[in-house]
Amino acid sequence: MTGIWLTVLLVGAVSMALKSAGPVILGGRELPGKFKQVVALMAPTLLAALIATQIFASGSHLTFDARVVGLGVGAAAIMLRVPTLLVVVLAAMATALTRLAFPA
């Protein structure tokens, strides 16, 4: 029982420290010019990498499954400027139906 609580508290402390290191140490100050150009590219790069790993990876395995169909439907809906909530519903439905049709 104490092992669980120690894990909860230590994992929490580590996560809080990682999130706050930048803002606490550098907070409110402008980054140097060259650094700014690097940071400007971080949002698109990390978002793209997050999408790729959430769709094409399970743990340490590369995968190609129903999630790909969901992403494809979602991407098409985004291109057609469908409202976001509907985009999500269509993508989730496409994924669920693909899983239903082709059970793993």
Partner 1 sequence: MAMVFDPMGDLVDANEESAEHGPPPVGTVEPLPDLRADVRSGLRAAVPLAIAVFGFAVSFGIVARAADMGWLAATVMSATTFAGSAQFAAASVIGTGGGIAAAIIAAVLLNSRYLAIGISVAPAMTGGPVRRFLGAQLVVDESWAVGHLGGGRYSRGRLLGAGVLVYIAWVGGTVVGVLGAEFLGNPESLGLDVVSPVLFLALLKGQVADRRAAVVALLGVAIALALVPFVSPGVPLIAATAACLLGLRKL
Footprint (CB under 8 A) of partner 1, residues 76-95: 78, 81, 83-85, 87-88, 91-95
Q: Taking CB under 8 A as the rule, does residue 102 contact partner 1?
A: no
Name the minimum Å distance from CB 16 to partner 1. Answer: 6
The residue among 50, 47, 91 whose CA lies nearest residue 69 is 91
Q: Does 11 bind partner 1 (CB under 8 A)?
A: yes
Distance, in Å, from the CA atom of 67 to the CA atom of 69, rounded to the nearest integer, reads 5
Interface pattern 16-55 for partner 1 (x via CB under 8 A):
x-xxxxxxxxxxxxxx--x-xxxxxxxxxxxxxxxxxxxx
Q: How far apart are CA 77 and CA 91, in angstroms?
A: 8
Nearer to partner 1, 6 or 102 (CB): 6
- The letter for the amino acid at 92 is A
Contacting partner 1 within 49-78 (CB under 8 A): 49-57, 59-62, 66-67, 70-71, 74-75, 78
Which stretches of 27-101 are DSSP H helices?
A: 33-40, 42-56, 66-79, 84-101
Shortest Å distance, C-beta 2 to partner 1? 10
- Strands 57-58 and 61-62, bridge-based pairing: antiparallel
Helix axes 84-101, 66-79, angle to 10 degrees: 150
Q: How far is the CB of 97 from partner 1 (least distance, A)?
A: 8
